Amino acid sequence: MTPTALVAAARECRSNAHVPYSKFRAGAAVLTDQGDVVPGVIVENVSLGLAMCAERVAMFNAVTVGATPTTLVLAAPDTDGSPTWPCGACLQVALELGGPELGIVVADDEDGPHQRAVLGELLPRGPRVER
């Protein structure tokens, strides 16, 4: 599956985001080691600490179906004119579930180009977990 197709999947699921407070519609898609695409959307709660980022929803859904994430895509509005990258909590979960070689792709919520990185580049000193 191409990064462009994964970005399209992440953008498509954004319409299901539950964002009554921020209106920040974010969607994610995880490509798994089984070749499946697992979606996720941001789910907000009036108690901010109970909200869940789209990236973690997608990664947790991958685990639910017995798969390992190999690529994580985030489609979200730009932040200060630049693509929005996963937060530290999402990167830490991604490191544990996908490892430092996990591909990360970010795109805006329109038809703009996407950017790519490898998780180990974004979190170079993150703790490694035996999987």
Each residue's pLDDT tens digit, 71-104: 999 999 999 988 999 999 999 999 999 999 999 9
Active site residue 44: no
- Among 12, 55, 96, 121, the active-site one is 55
3-state secondary structure at position 26: coil
3-state secondary structure at position 106: strand
d(CA 27, CA 58): 9
pLDDT, mean of residues 2-27: 95
pLDDT category, 31, cuts 50, 70, 90? very high
Mean pLDDT of the chain: 92
Strand arrangement of the beta sheet that strand 69-75 belongs to: 37-41, 27-32, 69-75, 103-107, 114-118
Q: In Å, how far are 22, 78, 96, 108 from 48, measured between CA atoms? A: 10, 21, 24, 23
24 CB neighbour count, 10 Å cutoff:
15
pLDDT category, 44, cuts 50, 70, 90? very high
User: Which DSSP letter does residue 52 get?
Assistant: B
The position carrying tokens 């895509």 is 73
